[in-house]
Amino acid sequence: MSISKLQIQHVRNISSISFAPSQAINIICGENGSGKTSILEAINILGLTRSFRTNKAKHLVQSEQSAATVFGSIDPMVQGLAQSLGVERPAEGEARIRYEGSDIDLSTLAELVPLQVINADTFMLLEGSPAIRRQFLDWGVFHADKAFIRLWRGFRRVLKQRNTLLKCGSIDNKLRQVWDREFIAFSDQLTRLRTEYLSLLKPEFEAVVSQLLEGTHIELGFSYGWDKKRPLDEVLASNFERDLRQGFTASGPQRADLRLKVDGHNAAERLSRGQKKLVVSALKLAQGALFQRMNSRPCIYLIDDLPSELDQVHGELFCKVLEQSSNQCFITCVDDQALMSHWDPQTDIATFRIADGSLC
C-alpha cells in the first residue's frame, strides 16, 4: 500500500494542503506547533477514520469548521495504480468513507490501508495495560487471517452475554453450560490464531532487535488469559463462584497479554528510555515485515519525532531498518538536519517543511 497524492483539509491548524509524497521516505519538519503531527494524524484519519491523539473528533477538526476531510490517491498493492480514497470526519457524528466512488465500512478500510504508528504513546506497549498489547497483537491477526474479525466479534458477543448473566447473581445450570460451550469454542479458536501469529512474528522481531539493539536478547512470551496448563472448561468451572460474585468472567482471551523480558526481567522495568523506544519500534517494524511477507504489500508508517530519545548511532540504525523495508514512511522531526546524514544516497527521500499549517 502506498499513497501517491494527499489532500488534507481542516485538520487542526491545517486549512488546506496537498502534496505528492515519496513512495519511500517522507520527512516532515517544522517548528513546535507548526502542524507536523497533524499531517500524520490526517493520514491516520485516511486509514482508520480517527485520530491517534484523541477520541473526540471535535478536537481534530479545525476550529470554526464542521468536518475534517482527507483524500488520497492510493495504490493498495503497489502496482502503479491510482485509486481514490476519501474520508470525511465530522466534528459530530459518523465518518464517511468513499473508495473508488462507493461507500465502504471501517473494517474494509482497515484492511485496505495497513497503518503503523510509532509515537510517544507507543511506549505504552511496554508500560501500559494488557489491552494495549492485545490491540497490537490483534492488528497482526486481523491482517493475517480473514477468520479473525468474525471470531473476535463472536467472542465479544458471547463474553458480553456471559457477563450479563453473571451480574444477575445466579444462572440456570443448563443455560450456563450453553454459554460456556460457546465461550470455550471461540476462546480456543481465537487463542490458536493469536499463538500462530506470534510464532511467525517472533523471528521477525528478533531480526529487527538484533539490528537496533545489538547484543540485547528480548524474550517475547504470550499469556493466553488463563493458566495454559489447564483446559479452559476446567478453569471456568473452578472460577465460577468467584466470577458470579464479581459479576464478570475473570479468565479467557479477554485477559491475554504479551510478556517482554530482558535477561529474565520485565522489559518495562529494566530498559532505558531509548532502549524502550527501540524495542516498541522493533515490535511495530516486525509486524510490518511479517505483513509484507504474508500479503506481498508494504505498510504505511507514521513516525512522530523519530530522533527523540535516540542518540546518533541508534537514530541511524533506525533509519537503516526503515530504508531497507519497502514501507512508505512519514517521519516528523523539528530539525531535518538531525536525520539527513542517516540515509543512503540511493534512497528516495522527500522533505516537506511546514509552518503555521501550510507547506513552504
Ligand X SMILES: Nc1ncnc2c1ncn2[C@@H]1O[C@H](COP(=O)(O)OP(=O)(O)OP(=O)(O)O)[C@@H](O)[C@H]1O
Segment interacting with Mg ion (CB under 5 A) among 32-40, 232-240, 306-314, 338-346: 32-40
If the CB atoms of residues 36 and 284 are measured against ligand X, the closer one turns out to be 36
The 306-335 site mask, x for binding ligand X (CB under 6 A), equals ----------------------------x-
Give me the residue label for grid cell 496448563.
229
Q: How far are the Cα atoms of 4, 113, 154 from residue 108, in angstroms, in the given order?
A: 20, 9, 18
Among residue numbers 24 through 53, which ones bind ligand X (CB under 6 A)? 30, 32-38
Of 37 and 62, CB closest to Mg ion: 37
CB under 5 to 8 A by kind: which of Mg ion, ligand X, none does 38 bind? ligand X
Specify whether the CB–CB gap between 226 and 252 falls below 8 A: yes
Residue type present at position 47 = G
Q: Which residues contact 33 (CB under 8 A, 6 or more apart)?
A: 13
- Is the CB of residue 81 less than 8 Å from the CB of residue 105? no
What is the C-alpha R_g of the chain?
22
44 binds, among ligand X, Mg ion, none (CB under 5 to 8 A by kind): none
CA distance 275 to 304: 17
Q: 210 vs 308, which CB is nearer to Mg ion?
A: 308
- Residue nearer to ligand X on the CB measure, 37 or 251: 37
- Cβ proximity to ligand X: between 201 and 333 the closer is 333
**Residue 224 is placed in which grid cell?**
493466553
Cell of 56: 473526540
Q: What dihedral angle (degrees, nearest 10) is formed by the CA atoms of 147, 50, 288, 341?
A: 180
Q: Does 225 bind ligand X (CB under 6 A)?
A: no
Is the CB of 2 or the CB of 37 nearer to Mg ion? 37
Instruction: Report in angstroms how near the CB of residue 94 gets to Mg ion at its nearest.
Output: 27
CA distance 235 to 238: 5
Least spacing, CB of residue 27 vs ligand X, in Å? 13
| Stretch binding Mg ion (CB under 5 A), from 36-44, 105-113, 178-186, 190-198 | 36-44
Write each residue from 127 to 166 as x if it is in contact with ligand X (CB under 6 A), else as -, in one continuous string.
----------------------------------------
Are the CB atoms for 105 and 99 separated by under 8 Å? no
Q: Indicate the length of the chain as a whole number.
A: 360
For position 37 contacting Mg ion by CB under 5 A, the verdict is: yes
Rule CB under 6 A: say whether 13 interacts with ligand X. yes
Least distance between ligand X and beta carbon 325 (Å): 24
- Output the smallest distance, CB 37 to ligand X, in A: 3
Among 16, 18, 54, 63, binds ligand X (CB under 6 A): 63
* Closest to 117 (Cα-Cα) out of 209, 37, 22: 37
- The order of strands in the sheet holding 25-29 is 115-118, 300-303, 328-333, 25-29, 349-355, 358-359
Shortest CB 72 distance to ligand X, Å: 19
Q: How far is CA 214 from the centre of its chain?
A: 25
Distances (CA, A) of 158 to 65, 143, 148, 194, 342: 41, 23, 15, 19, 51
Using CB under 6 A as the binding criterion, the count of chain residues that bind ligand X stands at 14
Footprint of ligand X on this chain (CB under 6 A)? Answer: 12-13, 30, 32-38, 59, 62-63, 334
Footprint of Mg ion on this chain (CB under 5 A)? Answer: 37
